[in-house]
Each structure stands twice: as structure tokens, then as C-alpha cells.
Structure 1
Amino acid sequence: MSKEPESVNRWLITLAVMVPTLIEILDTSVANVALKHIQGSLAAGEEEVTWVLTSYLVANAIVIPMSGWLARLMGRKRFLMLSIAVFTASSLLCGAATTLAQIILFRIFQGLGGGGLQPMSQAILMETFPPHQRGMAMGIFGVGVVLGPILGPLMGGYLTDNFTWRWIFYINLPVGLLALYLAGAFLFDPPYMERRQRGEVVDYLGLALLTTGIGALQIVLDKGQQDDWFSSPFITALAVVSAVSLVGLVFWELRHPRPVLDFRILKNRSFAIGNAVMFFGFFAFFGSIVLLPLFLQGLMGYTAYLAGLVLGPGGMLALVFMPVAGKLTERIDARWMLAFGMLVCAYSLHIMAGFNLYIDFGTAAFARVLQGIAMPFFFVSLSVVTFAYVPREAMNTASPLYNLLRNLGGSFGVAFVTTLLARRTQYHHSVLAEDMTPLSPAYELSFEQIRNGLAMQLGEVADLAERTRVVIYQMLQREASAPAFNDAFFSQGAIFLLLFFCVWFMRRPPRGKHEGFVE
């Protein structure tokens, strides 16, 4: 039997929900650095092995929005424990997989198990802490949300290099068993939580439209740039299926008495605007998280370790400032804190937009440190403002939608920056290449200098001229990529500046335990 809330220490409840949430978020990125090892071990093709990542993301994205409905169907505690059990068992199976088909299948189950952990954890935390302390609850929740994508590749790289790629999955087993015990011991279903009634009509069409639309969309976002977007019939077909399904889902759910995903909650102005800000905020944040390591390793020649050192201080500061930002929401209008976070994020991206091929380590790390300070103020304050006027009984409906848009924002952001980077590199390449002709004295001088340098190293080999052209092309590509990164960073910073103006259309949240948060 579930315990009453008064009999359970809120910090034990916090631990019970944060342990599974953190490992689930880590698993969205932990396998990225191990793909080459998985490919070699399972004799898979380069394109085929990426389904190890895509299968998890698709399954995860499908379950997130329907987690509120599933919690109502079977009870929130039971649903959370089932999710942890499925996630843990499938992690063990992923590590033991002997073929590519097996690991993709088990990753699907892992994603299905993990999908409900984030929204349910957020809903439980928002209910566990008193209304005036919801900022602190979101500060704790934000530690996993922001640090997970940063720590995932570092942990994956360490386990893969020092053990085998299988340990990136095996490590989930003891943590999952701990999470299962904590959930069983310290979580409860609140008395006001609505349960599905016997004989209630199940929204089967809504389930089908949601599964099809979100699944197809996630594949489009994950594979689009790789397949050159709409030049691929496969991507085009999936995009059409996704668009039709999601548009149909909105119209159907607004008319259904018991929808899988209740869009009616968007009538709450602050909640609706907050969801839009979250989508575009994580669109810009995740885009920059992807771009910075690419710039440092691809153009600056940093090792994975050095690139990690650039990202590390920002991640540590985010860890420190999450609870600080949460505590400050009890005394300061969270909208001002949110605006501060946006402006600092925009400034950090402005610095990144000025990077060149000669920046030092400190310059790169400073921009990341600013971002690490800003993101806690953005994430925590936005959560407080967004949920301030959402009733407790609606948390199971509101949290899945909020988490869905956060995850989709990140997926759209990654797809956008990788595409923009490729397109802008092509543009800058064509501009720089205009002067690289035998008729240009500067080009001829550079050609001779590089040719003479190669001749000193290799001697007068037959293909010396061709090797010189290859070196020049590589230099050209590097010089063209740098301003392309600048363009991408600039676009992400501009998004935060535009979001700054949206803040003031949201209602001022109450502050302190004597003001009127919605209970």
C-alpha cells in the first residue's frame, strides 16, 4: 500500500525519482561515442549502426506524451515502477546483444521504459514540494536535464575505453535496481489523482495518431540531414505521415472526452507560452551543445579529453547554480530570473559566434562557463512560471506535454544546426574558392610555397602537384567551416534574444508561502 505523503521525507521521494531520471537522460547520449565499437563488434554498416541511437529516441519520444494517460490507466507508482523495470531489464539485454537486430530491438524496449520517467518525476516533484518551493524542486530536476547530455558522452567514452561498450548498458543494472527499491518504498499515488474508470472508452485512435506522428517525426529529425532531407523519398514520406498524423491528433484530441494527450490545458496562457519558450530555448541550447565539440575537435584539433575540459566547468557550474536558482525563485519574480538567463545565454552564443581558428582554451571555456551559469536560471525559472497556475491534479497532464516539447526542441535544434552548418560551409567554400584559380597571383604564390614544403618532406614525387592541391583543399574546407560555425552560433543566440520578449506575456508567479500558487 502506498504511504501517505506526510509520512515520507520529501528528500527520499526526490532521490527516488531523480535516480532513474538521471540514468534515462544519460542513456539518450551515452551510446554516441561507442557507435564505432558497437559497429565493429556486431559487424554492422556505418548507416545501420546509427539505428542504435534512433530506435531509442523514437521509442522514448512516443511514450513521453502518453505517460500521463498511462499513469491514469494503471496508477502512477505502478507505471513508474514498471518503466524502471523495463528500462533496467532491456539495458541488460542491450549489453548482452550479439547482433545488430537484437540491440536495436532491445533499445526500443529501453526507450519505451525510459519515456515515462522524466514527466512522471517532474510531476511527482512538483507535488511533493510545497508550492512556494517548486523552484527548488525544478532546480533538482534540472540537474539531470542539463547535465545528462553533457555527462553522457564522457561516461560512455570512459566505460568504452577502459572496459567494453557493453558496460554502458550494464552500468544501468545496479542503479535500476536501486531506483526500483526507492520507488517501491517511498512513492505514493496522491488521493486526488484521477484513475481510469471501469468501462471508460479508450482513445485508440489518439494512441495510433500519437505513436505514428511522433515516431515518424523523430526519425525525420534524426536521419534527415544524413539523407539530404526531402531529396530522400523515405524522409519525405515520413514527413508527410508525421504532419498528417499530428494535425489529425490535435483535432481529434480536442473533441475526445478522455484524450491521451489533453491539449485543453494550453488554454492556460502562462503554460502555453512557457511550452513555446521551452521548445525554442532547448532548440538553441542543444544546438550549441552539439556545435561546440564539433568546432573544437574538427577545426581546432582538440582531443576528446580537451573538448571535455572545455565543457566540464560549465557543467559543474550548472550543477551548482540549479538549486541556487531554485531558492531565489522564492524571493525574486521568476520572470526576471528567466530574462537574465536568456540574456546571458545570448551573450555566450555571441562570444561563440566570434570564434576563429586561433582562439585559446580560455576563450572557449569562458563562453561555455557563461552558458553553464545561464541555463539554471533559464530552466528553473521557466518551469516555475509555466507551472505556477497549473492545478496539482493536472500535473500528470501538463508535465508530459512540457517534457515532449523540451525533447522535440532539442531534436529540432540538433537537426537545424547540422543542416545550417553544412549549407553555410558550402556557401563560404564557394566564396573562398572564387579566388583560387591559376590566374590569381596569391593562389600561385601559396601553391608554390606549399609545393616546396611538401618537396622538402617527400622529395620530388610524381604526384606532388596533386598532393599540393589536396592540402590546399583541406585548408580551404577548414577556412570555410569556421564562419559557418559562426553563423550557426549567431542564429542560436538570436533565438534567445527573441524569446526574451515572450517572457513578459506570462503571468507573474506568486512568491513565498503566503502567496497564491495553485495547489
Structure 2
Amino acid sequence: MASYPTGFNRAIIVATAISAAIMELIDTTIVNVALNEMAGALGATIEDIAWVVTSYAIANVIIIPMTSFLAEYFGRKNYYLTSIIIFTIASYFCGQATSLWELVVWRFVQGVGGGALLSTSQSIIFDAFPPEKRGIASGIFAMGIILGPTFGPVLGGVIVENYHWSNIFLVNIPVGILAAILTILFIAKKEGEGTRKHLITIDYLGIILLMVGVGSLQFVLEKGESEDWFDSRLITSLSLLAAVGMIGFIWRELTTSHPVVDLRVMGKGTLGVTTIFSFVAGIGLFTAMFVYPVMVQRINGYTPTMTGLSLLWPTLIGVFMMPIVGRRLSAGASPLPFIITGICLMIAFGFYGGTFNADASQWQFFPAHMLRVLGISLLQLPLTNQAVAGLTPKEYPNAIAINNMIRQLGGAFGVALANNFVAIRYAQHRSDLVSNLYPGNPLLTERLNAMGGATMRAYRMLELAVDKQAYMLSYLDTFRIVGVFFLLILPLVVMLRQKKKKSAEEIAAAAAAMAEAH
């Protein structure tokens, strides 16, 4: 009969796992409000500073689907402890970085460590409770994964505004050290953990092809616009490399007997279709969280703290929504109504979010953020639930890992898309605005007179105003394009199978799989 920790030991295990998970989750959002300050301090453009976000996401894309394999190969406790140490050390070097690309490299390393923290933390908490109390475990973890991203922007704003931007990474160090010590002392190894290494074959070729494919593709997406796309030999070469890497990875995983990511499960159930929705959900989540802080700080004059607070209040809605959705799904409710409603809310967010101006206040943005948070809250768990529809419990962990990988890949794609789209739309909007500045235009004459007459200073002020408005319109277009993506996938809902009500055993197996691979 299995024994479970109780009292103080259980509390310490839960606290350790939650602190590591929250540390990783905060780090995914705390950076967004500091992008302007980092760009200025490191002499980088906003377009280039986006690599700080995407390098972390790329590392997550690579490591998340391999988490179950790595935990089995090295042993869960060893892998978890190593990941905490890697994340903590990388956080220190992120804080010490003196150039953009040094920071990008260490953010990638940080993402390698962070990729394991969320899923492994959840499985550790799950195993600390007997089966009849695992609903409590899920609730505890759900609160952690909601509160982490909620307070990340606020904490980042306070740090950036009152201290140096590097402290957003250095705050991880004491938490990481404490989590590592507690892991050594209190997290027990599972029976047989790490003893089957000699029986496991490592798919080195699959890992290499995944890294080459994803890394090359992301570089092309990020730098394609600035390098004139296929007029650049570098972009052309990396595009070919990305195609070879991704096609080779798919072929390898479908033909080898020991794949690092078993893609065969994509042809079963509705996982293949669900990944389309997860990819777009990743675009919506990451793009909005990247564009909004940059926009309101560059255009609306928000401080980092104001930016964080404007994200805090609507995000708290998710604290109440996620448990409700989780309980309904656990009771056997179909995920489709949640998915359809979530998509519609994200469409509304995209088009409503594209209607603001440079004078909008925090509370004027509130309804748009509320739509976004409600939309994402209604999509996250139902898409995970739908990903395993029609699969056997044994196939759940791999299916959920693939679904999470695709969502992260969508996020990385979304940030790259936003950068390129803003650059293209800025040029168009600036051209349109300048075309109205012709001699004899009464509005132009009135504006120049208000600036003190047709002087060089007035023309310079006018140029800055045009630039500001062109950028504002470009950022708003980015929100609209997010709405378009969700609008395009709405008809595909008919391809999602109505989920049959599962037995208690299947529900428990699904919960366990989510603990291993969420």
C-alpha cells in the first residue's frame, strides 16, 4: 500500500514545488514591463529586445515535450533539482548581462531550466496526496499558476521603476537556492526512479533536428523583415535549414522505435486539430502580453508600475474562472462550449483592443483586458481536455506535452509576427499621415501656429507626433490581427469531437497526465 507524506512534510513539499513553479511563471511575465528599459540600457531596438522573450519561449518549446523522457531517464528528483539549479544560475547571469545577445543566450539557458519546473512541480504536488484528495492538489496548483503570471508584471514594474532592471532576474536567486535546498531535503525519489537508464534509448537525432528546426525558423521569423526576407542569403539558408530540421524531425519521430516526442499520437482522437487551436491560443496570449506593455510605455507614457497594475486587476478574474472551468470539466462537461466562447471573446478582444488612442487611461483598457483574460481562461483547460479526447490514458502525457509545445511555439511565432507586422504597418501609416501634411492644409497651419510658427523646432515636434501616431496605429493593428487569427479558426470547431463523459478512472488518469505534462 502506497504511503503519502502528511503534516509538516507535506506542507514543505507543496511549498517547495509551488515556489519553484511560481518563480518560473513570474519570470515569463515580469520581463514584459521591462523591455523598454532593457532596450535603452543595452542599446537595442524594441524589435531586437523581443529576443529576450522569444529565446526563453524557444527553449521551452524544445524542452517541454522532452520533460517526461528526461525525468524518466535521469530520475524525477535529479532532473527537477538540476532544472532549479540551471534556472537559478542562468538568472544570475541574465542580471549580469552587459549586451543584448549575452542576455538572450542566458535567457535561453534559463528557459531550458524553467521548462521542467511547471510540469514537474505539479506532478510532485500530485504525488504528495492520496487519490481521494488529489482534487485539493489540483486546486492548490491552479492557484499558483494563476497568481504567478498575475503578479509578475506588477513586481517587474516596481523593481524597474525603483531599482535597476537586472533585479527582475536577481530576485530569482534566493528563491531558487531555497527551492534547491528544500528539494534535496524533502522531495523523495519515486520507487525505481532513475534506475532504468540502461533500458532507455536516447533519440539524439530527434533532439538535434528539433533544435535546428525550431531555432532556424524563429530566427527567420524574427529577422526576416529587417533582412529583406529572401533577398538575404542568410534568411534563405536558414529557411532551408528550418524546413530540413522540421521535416526531418517529423520523419524521425514517426519512424524511430524510441522517439523523444511520439508524434504518432497526433493521428489519434482530435489532438491534431486541437493543436491548431492551441497554436492560435499561444499567439493570442504571448502577442498581447508583448505588445501591450511596449505600446503603453512608448506611446501612452505609462510607467512600468502603471503598466503592471493595469494588467493586474483584469487578470485576477482568471483566479476565479480557472477553478470553475476545471470543476465543470471534471464533472464531465463538454469542452466545446468553453472553447467556442473563449474564441469569440478573443475575437472581441482583438477588434475592440484596436480602437484605442494615445490618451487612453488604465481603466479604458480594462474592458479589453477583461475580454482577453476571460477568453484565455476559457481556452486553456478545455483545450488540454480536448487534446486527450479519444486517446487512452497511457497516451495522455505525450498528447498534453505536444499540445503545450505547440502553444509555446505559437507564442514565439506571435511575438515574431508582432515585430514584423508593426514594422510593416508603421511604414504604411507614416506614409499615409505624411501625405496629409501639404502646404495650405488649414489643420497643418493651425498645428504649426500652436507650436510657435513654421520653425525647425515646430517641424521636429510635428515629426515626432507623426511617428508616435504611426506606431500607435501599428500596435492597434497587431491586436486586430490577433482577432483575425481567432476568427479564422472559429469554423474549425466543427472538427472537434464532442467529448464523451469519462469514467472516474479515466478522469483520474487524465488529471495525473496533466500533472506530468502540463
User: Do the structures match in fold with TM over 0.5?
Assistant: yes
**1:266 offset after TM fit, Å?**
0.9
For 1:371-419, what per-residue CA distance to the aligned partner results, in whole angstroms no more than 9, with x for missing partners? Answer: 2233212112222222355545444433432222111111111222232
| Paired residue total | 503
Amino acid at match of 2:210: L
For 1:114-155, what per-residue CA distance to the aligned partner results, in whole angstroms no more than 9, with x for missing partners? Answer: 222234446667888899999987776666666655643432
Partner of 1:446: 443
Amino acid at match of 1:425: Y
Partner of 2:455: 465
Contact 2:451 2:458 in 1 (8 A): yes
Matching of residues 317-466 of structure 1 within 5 Å: 317-331=317-331, 332-357=333-358, 359-438=360-439, 441=440, 443=441, 445-455=442-452, 464-466=454-456
**1:435 offset after TM fit, Å?**
3.5
Query: Normalized against structure 2, the TM-score is what?
Result: 0.82
Contact 1:138 1:326 in 2 (8 A): no
Shifted more, 273-282 versus 352-361: the winner is: 352-361
Secondary structure at 2:452 match in 1: helix
Hey, what's the Cα distance between the residues in 1 that align with 2:166 and 2:104? 14
Partner of 1:459: none
Hey, what's the Cα distance between the residues in 2 that align with 1:136 and 1:504? 34
Contact 2:254 2:263 in 1 (8 A): yes
Matching of residues 71-470 of structure 1 within 5 Å: 71-95=71-95, 106-121=106-121, 151-180=151-180, 183=183, 185-186=186-187, 189=190, 198=198, 200-225=200-225, 227=227, 229-331=229-331, 332-357=333-358, 359-438=360-439, 441=440, 443=441, 445-455=442-452, 464-470=454-460
Amino acid at match of 1:325: V
**1:421 offset after TM fit, Å?**
2.5
Distance 1:378-1:131 versus aligned 2 partners, 3 A rule: farther
For 1:76-104, what per-residue CA distance to the aligned partner results, in whole angstroms no more than 9, with x for missing partners? Answer: 33222221122223334544567878766
Hey, what's the Cα distance between the residues in 1 that align with 2:317 and 2:178? 27
Amino acid at match of 1:448: T
Amino acid at match of 1:24: E
Distance 1:227-1:199 versus aligned 2 partners, 3 A rule: same
Amino acid at match of 1:298: R
For 1:191-250, what per-residue CA distance to the aligned partner results, in whole angstroms no more than 9, with x for missing partners? Answer: 8x9985626543222122122222323334444455555454434433322221111110
Hey, what's the Cα distance between the residues in 2 that align with 1:358 and 1:16? 44
**1:252 offset after TM fit, Å?**
1.3
Contact 1:63 1:115 in 2 (8 A): yes
Query: Normalized against structure 1, the TM-score is what?
Result: 0.81
For 1:431-452, what per-residue CA distance to the aligned partner results, in whole angstroms no more than 9, with x for missing partners? Answer: 34334322xx4x2x23432333
Distance 1:28-1:233 versus aligned 2 partners, 3 A rule: farther
Hey, what's the Cα distance between the residues in 2 that align with 1:130 and 1:330? 17
Unaligned stretches of 5+ in structure 1?
A: 457-463
Amino acid at match of 1:402: N
Partner of 1:487: 477
**1:257 offset after TM fit, Å?**
0.3
Amino acid at match of 2:24: E
For 1:293-337, what per-residue CA distance to the aligned partner results, in whole angstroms no more than 9, with x for missing partners? Answer: 344333333333333333221111122322222122234322212
Distance 1:138-1:287 versus aligned 2 partners, 3 A rule: farther
Amino acid at match of 2:447: I
Hey, what's the Cα distance between the residues in 2 that align with 1:415 and 1:158? 27
Residue 501 of structure 1: which of 476, 491, 494 is its match? 491
Distance 1:98-1:448 versus aligned 2 partners, 3 A rule: closer
For 1:260-303, what per-residue CA distance to the aligned partner results, in whole angstroms no more than 9, with x for missing partners? Answer: 11101112222222222111112123222233334433333333
Hey, what's the Cα distance between the residues in 2 that align with 1:137 and 1:222? 40
Hey, what's the Cα distance between the residues in 2 that align with 1:421 and 1:39? 17
Contact 2:437 2:444 in 1 (8 A): no
Contact 1:136 1:323 in 2 (8 A): no
Amino acid at match of 1:454: M
Q: Taking every aligned residue pair, what percent have the same amino acid on both sides?
A: 31
Contact 2:32 2:290 in 1 (8 A): no
Amino acid at match of 1:81: L
Distance 1:177-1:395 versus aligned 2 partners, 3 A rule: farther
Hey, what's the Cα distance between the residues in 2 that align with 1:176 and 1:503? 42
Hey, what's the Cα distance between the residues in 2 that align with 1:174 and 1:112? 19
Hey, what's the Cα distance between the residues in 2 that align with 1:93 and 1:65? 26
Amino acid at match of 1:501: P
Contact 1:287 1:413 in 2 (8 A): yes
Contact 1:353 1:490 in 2 (8 A): yes
Distance 1:378-1:466 versus aligned 2 partners, 3 A rule: same
Hey, what's the Cα distance between the residues in 2 that align with 1:100 and 1:310? 28
Contact 1:286 1:410 in 2 (8 A): yes
Hey, what's the Cα distance between the residues in 2 that align with 1:31 and 1:363? 24
